[in-house]
Amino acid sequence: MFFWPIRIYYEDTDAGGVVYYANYLRFYERARTEWLRAEGIEQDEIRQNDGILFVVRSAEVEYLRPALFNDEVVVSASLSEVRRASLKFRQEIRRINMQGELLSSAQFRIASITAKTLRPAAIPDHLMERIKKDEL
């Protein structure tokens, strides 16, 4: 499991100091990007070298408790399924200062597509080797 800490800034919240629901998607995206980076995979490099992009195909998000201005949270990312042209992640956002209180949980299907045609494409073998070692 991979963890990425995030501080909630005023810009992330509504007028009441509660994180706007769509910003959770941004937090989840950051954690997945940093997971790839930790695996030695830079998305700009795979676009340039392999001609592929990773894009969200589907998202299922549950909002359980509100994150608030100035909270410190941790976003997890774990790979739950690997297919030839897609990855599935399980993710959570937890508040750090309250014994890891669960704020949100989500599942994302990430598709591999060609940068030129935006059509599905197999994940290159050299990337698949790095990715598969983390499959649950």
> Which sequence positions are flagged as catalytic?
14
Nearest C-alpha neighbor of 10 from the set 72, 69, 65: 69
For the four alpha carbons of 37, 43, 48 and 52, in that order, the dihedral sign comes to positive
Read off the DSSP letter of residue 17: S
* Tokens, residue 27: 């937090």
Tokens 């990425």 correspond to: 4
d(CA 10, CA 20): 10
Residues 107 and 116: beta-carbon distance below 8 Å: no
